[in-house]
């Protein structure tokens, strides 16, 4: 993110999980706050990269970004539609999103039962 202060990335998605390749500025570590539908992640949505803390009297979910790599942002228990928001400090670089289970299983099951003559 260019410029000073906090930057935000908002993403509407339909999937089970979301990943993002990110890098911290100049080799240092920084924290990226992760919100889903305007709220911190719950323990059932956390990933191997998710951390939790209390900041300003409220709970936060965040990812500690260090070297450039793919970070797992959210892992929902089911395929759903959500809005993901990342609050990033200046200097964080975001490269590419990937999604897991981004095929609606109910639509796939319906399509599989169609007669394919």
Q: CA 49, CA 31: separation in Å to the nearest integer?
A: 11
Tell me how many domains the chain contains.
1
Q: CA 88, CA 5: separation in Å to the nearest integer?
A: 9
Give the residue ranges of DSSP H helices in 1-117: 105-112
Q: Is residue 57 part of a domain?
A: yes
Q: What is the CATH number of the domain that holds 27?
A: 2.60.120.260
Q: What is the DSSP letter of 106?
A: H
Q: CA 4, CA 76: separation in Å to the nearest integer?
A: 32
Residue 58, classed as helix, strand or coil, is strand
**Percent of the chain clearing pLDDT 70 (strictly above):** 83
Name the nearest CA neighbour of 20 among 76, 65, 53: 65
Structural domain including 41 reads 7-112
pLDDT tens profile 56-67: 899 999 999 999
Q: What pLDDT does residue 2 have?
A: 53
pLDDT tens profile 73-117: 999 999 999 999 999 998 899 999 999 986 666 766 555 555 555
Q: What pLDDT does residue 110 have?
A: 54
pTM, rounded to two decimals = 0.82
Name the nearest CA neighbour of 76 among 48, 49, 46: 46
Centre a 10 Å sphere on the Cβ of residue 41 and count the other Cβ atoms it contains.
24
Q: Is residue 55 part of a domain?
A: yes
Q: Is residue 2 part of a domain?
A: no
């Amino acid at each position: 993110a260019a410029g000073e202060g906090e930057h935000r990335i908002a993403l509407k998605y339909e999937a089970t999980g979301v990943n993002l390749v990110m890098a911290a500025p100049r080799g240092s570590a920084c924290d990226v706050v992760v919100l889903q539908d305007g709220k911190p992640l719950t323990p059932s949505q956390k990933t191997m990269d998710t951390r939790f803390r209390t900041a300003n009297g409220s709970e936060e979910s965040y990812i500690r970004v260090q070297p450039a790599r793919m970070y797992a942002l959210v892992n929902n228990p089911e395929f759903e539609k959500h809005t993901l928001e990342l609050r990033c400090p200046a200097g964080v670089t975001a490269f590419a999103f990937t999604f897991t289970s981004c095929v609606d299983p109910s639509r796939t099951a319906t399509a599989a039962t169609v007669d394919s003559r």
